[in-house]
Amino acid sequence: MPRERTAEEGPVRVATEKIPVSTGPGMQIVDVTAALSERLRALGARSGVATVFVSGSTAALTTVEYEPGLVRDLQELFERLAPQGARYHHEGRWHDGNGHSHVRASLLGPSLSIPVVEGKLTLGTWQQVIFVDFDVPARERELVVQYVGE
Amino acid sequence: MPRERTAEEGPVRVATEKIPVSTGPGMQIVDVTAALSERLRALGARSGVATVFVSGSTAALTTVEYEPGLVRDLQELFERLAPQGARYHHEGRWHDGNGHSHVRASLLGPSLSIPVVEGKLTLGTWQQVIFVDFDVPARERELVVQYVGE
Amino acid sequence: MPRERTAEEGPVRVATEKIPVSTGPGMQIVDVTAALSERLRALGARSGVATVFVSGSTAALTTVEYEPGLVRDLQELFERLAPQGARYHHEGRWHDGNGHSHVRASLLGPSLSIPVVEGKLTLGTWQQVIFVDFDVPARERELVVQYVGE
């Protein structure tokens, strides 16, 4: 059965952007919402999915109400779940002291998919997209943002 | 090199729906599989990706075999990982007693991407999509469902 | 305002593939990166999103630097977070001894979305896609890979 074309439909395209992020040493939580919104605005994104992805195995992505209390709460949560001072078998390979960074990143996960509706990310009022760098030294990172939509 | 067009290919479109969810107080786990399938059926979804997203920072999404025992097991898991009675720095800001709700939601994550094949979500027989509301009071919520596909 | 068509844009399509995975008993971690890359290459994927999804409620997906030390570290992490020997209410229903498998899988999550750029997954050098089977017996599994892109 043929479908009527609705106002929301249109040619779907793919566009890819990068967001560079510099982090200091230790577990760092960076609000990337403004950078992400700016990239999508520049692309003319109206209706579609924004996939955000971390290239690297010691960092991850999620959302949170970004305020100093919750930043500390998340740092303490991951310190309880996978303490930095515990013994990790990963150390036997590289001796770089970041076994905790790897398992924390795997637990939280490298990808996030966020719908864009009428040109805006469908985040809640108190919900920000955060990049979480679990690694030990300061790092220069790059997030991949890929938009599939109209 | 030009590719042949296969039977599976066709015009890809974007369609967005909402699923309202009312939850009671405390950690609530709601099976949204039927509502999600119904929305996709109404859209005529045949082959594509359904992104489900929680707008809000105290709720999350995942899948589970939805039965009363596992509902309690998940409640007890999150009570162990991030106890309600622990001290959270978030309290210093809002004093609304939901620091545990926020960190639990960040840990589980706000988005889920599920392939649709031949008009059906590719869930396992004993796998349901659940909305997990970690907040303390009863809430009126809205999930975003965005379909990109044929 | 009309947009210029850029070199990256083209007809977007949907293609679905399966990856069979055989796992042994106990928590198994399988590197599926090569199988995933091979499927995308066969599809002629150039620019788009690869969604990987586990059909089933006792397995999950994430990324890690795949080496024997981190495989053991992840096994130990999940044994701490949700011990196999703890009491699970799920047992009251099925008596199949895999309550821990279910809650671990829900915590880690069944889906992963990875951008493909210039025909390649945007993984880091030391980042592999892993399928984590948390179930107790050996299983025959099937991953769904769905590509939406050019």
User: Taking CB atoms and an 8 Å limit, are C74 and A148 in contact across chains?
Assistant: no
The shares of helix, strand and coil residues in chain A, as percent rounded to the nearest 5, are: 25, 35, 40
Q: What is the pLDDT of residue C10?
A: 62
3-state secondary structure of C33: helix
List chains adjacent to chain C, taking adjacency as at least 3 C-beta pairs closer than 8 Å: A, B
What are the two backbone dihedrals, phi and then psi, of residue A31, each rounded to the nearest 5 degrees? -80, 115
Residue among A68, A81, A114 whose CB faces B111 most closely: A114
pLDDT band at C8 (very low <50, low <70, confident <90, very high): very low
Closest Cα in chain A, distance from residue C94 (Å):
27
Residue among B54, B82, B111 whose CB faces A77 most closely: B82
Beta strands in chain B (DSSP E): 13-23, 28-31, 48-54, 59-64, 111-117, 120-121, 128-133, 139-149
Residues of A within 8 A of B89 (CB-CB) are 68-70, 72-73, 76
pLDDT at residue A21 is higher than 80: yes
Domains, in order of start, for chain C: 19-38+53-110+119-140 (2.60.120.460)
Q: pLDDT for B104-144, tens place per residue?
A: 999 999 999 999 999 999 999 999 999 999 999 999 999 99
Residue among B74, B115, B123 whose CB faces C103 most closely: B74
pLDDT at residue A20 is higher than 70: yes
The whole-chain average pLDDT of chain A stands at: 93
pLDDT band at A2 (very low <50, low <70, confident <90, very high): very low
User: Taking CB atoms and an 8 Å limit, are B70 and C110 in contact across chains?
Assistant: no
Q: What does the pLDDT average to over A101-121?
A: 98
Residue position matching structure tokens 């690297």? A56
Q: pLDDT for C66-106, tens place per residue?
A: 999 999 999 999 999 999 999 999 987 777 899 999 999 99
pLDDT at residue A91 is higher than 90: no
Residue among B49, B72, B76 whose CB faces C148 most closely: B49
- Token reading at A85: 């001072």
Q: pLDDT for C32-70, tens place per residue?
A: 999 999 999 999 999 999 999 999 999 999 999 999 999
pLDDT band at B10 (very low <50, low <70, confident <90, very high): low
pLDDT at residue C7 is higher than 60: no
Q: Considering chain A, what percentage of its residues have pLDDT values greater than 90? A: 89
User: Taking CB atoms and an 8 Å limit, are C9 and A15 in contact across chains?
Assistant: yes
Q: What is the pLDDT of residue A10?
A: 62
Task: Indicate the helix (H) or strand (E) that contains A69.
Answer: helix A68-81
User: Taking CB atoms and an 8 Å limit, are C63 and A110 in contact across chains?
Assistant: yes
User: Taking CB atoms and an 8 Å limit, are A99 and C70 in contact across chains?
Assistant: yes
Q: pLDDT for B51-70, tens place per residue?
A: 999 999 999 999 999 999 99
Q: Nearest Cα to C75, choosing from C31, C26, C111, C112?
A: C26
pLDDT band at A68 (very low <50, low <70, confident <90, very high): very high
Q: pLDDT for C101-124, tens place per residue?
A: 999 999 999 999 999 999 999 999
